[in-house]
Each structure stands twice: as C-alpha cells, then as structure tokens.
Chains A and B, each alone.
Chain A
Amino acid sequence: DVKVTQSSRYLVKRTGEKVFLECVQDMDHENMFWYRQDPGLGLRLIYFSYDVKMKEKGDIPEGYSVSREKKERFSLILESASTNQTSMYLCASSFPPEGAGGYTFGSGTRLTVV
C-alpha cells in the first residue's frame, strides 16, 4: 500500500523553538507539498517542490522553510515557532502531471505551540 508518512501525529513545542516536520513518501513521486489546515480557512499551501533540491513558495511561506535533499523526503522547518503557527500540517505528494491523478496525503501533524 503506497504511503505518505508524517513522522509525528501530535507535537507540542515552545515559542521560539526551531521545529522540524518530516514527510516521507514511498511512491517515487516527483512532486511534494506542505499545507496547513485551519478551521474555516481550508488548506493553504506553504511550500512545494517538483524535484530534489528544488523548492517554491506557496501562498503563505512566511515563517517557514523547507528542505528536500532526497526525492522521498520533504521537510518543513519552522525557524522560530510562534503561537499563530499552531495548526494541522499536511504533507502531500503526486506524480506529474499532478492535475491528472490528484494528491496523496499523509495523516497530518497537529502542532501546538505554547
């Protein structure tokens, strides 16, 4: 069964900490995405990557960075966590062309910043 695996389901961090959210896919997908999901706001794209060592900003990249050193792994980094980054974070991947097959999502990481 193909999968997108997010390393943590629940995470609690302190304000100012550097936070790493890890995502690994085993489908040999080229494209990977990070979203955050908040009530009433739906899914908002933070960053995406179409290839190793490639990254592009999504709609809300401020306060975040990403790393893609290997094809299967896409990490989201909160440089200095703040309470307004408390959210559900979803990783997704797809094989191009992405519009044809849709995305495969991980189970999500619920991050609380205190």
Chain B
Amino acid sequence: AQSVTQLDSQVPVFEEAPVELRCNYSSSVSVYLFWYVQYPNQGLQLLLKYLSGSTLVKGINGFEAEFNKSQTSFHLRKPSVHISDTAEYFCAVTRNRDDKIIFGKGTRLHILP
C-alpha cells in the first residue's frame, strides 16, 4: 500500500528566509505526486504536481519541488518566504492515474517576523 510521510508537523521560519518542507512516500512502482496548500479556514488548493518528465517542478507562489526517485522524496522548497505563505501544506501521492490520492498529515508553516 502507498503511504506518505511528512516529516515535520510544524516548521517555523523567518520571513525572507528559505524553507524546505519534507515529504517521503512509499511505493514500489511509479507514482504521481502533489503538493497542496491550505490557508486558514479555507479548502485545499493545488500548489504543484509531478506526473512525469523533469524532476524539478515549479508551482504557484514561487514554490518548487524536486522528485527524487532513489530517495523516494518530493520535498517542497521556496527561496524566500513571505508572511502570506503561512498555511498548512499537504503532500499527496497516487500510484497511477486511476487511483485515489493519498494525503500526508500536513506540515504547518509558521512565518516569523
């Protein structure tokens, strides 16, 4: 069975500093990977996705993620965070195009002034 592990439940970072949110998945086959963002009191919004091709994926709001098959990771990065990036971030995986998406438990990003 697939699973997704988000290694940090909370990440504090100073404004304008870089951030990395870690995500590891378990699957013995090819996967499709997603990052979602949830701003306070809102639903989830797709940030970026990896289906195939280049392992570096660029998303909205300056975020990017790198698919690393050998380490089964899909870490999310941003070179300089803003207060508006305060949100919860969810990593998600599906084994193939017809499977349901499995979500990680989320990482809360706290931006410190």
Enumerate chain A interface residues (CB-CB to B < 8 A): 4, 6, 9, 33, 40-43, 45, 48, 90, 92, 96-108, 110
Q: Mark B29-47, 1 if CB is under 8 A from A, else 0.
A: 0001010100001111110
B interface bracket (residues with beta carbon within 8 Å of A): 20 to 34
Enumerate chain B interface residues (CB-CB to A < 8 A): 9, 32, 34, 36, 41-46, 49, 51, 90, 92, 94-101, 103-106
Q: How far is the CB of B35 from chain A (nearest CB, A)?
A: 10
Instruction: Establish whether residues A99 and B96, one from each chain, have CB atoms under 8 Å apart when the complex forms.
Output: yes
Instruction: Establish whether residues B97 and A43, one from each chain, have CB atoms under 8 Å apart when the complex forms.
Output: no
Instruction: Establish whether residues A102 and B49, one from each chain, have CB atoms under 8 Å apart when the complex forms.
Output: yes
Closest to A9 in B: B41
Closest to B47 in A: A102
Closest to A44 in B: B103
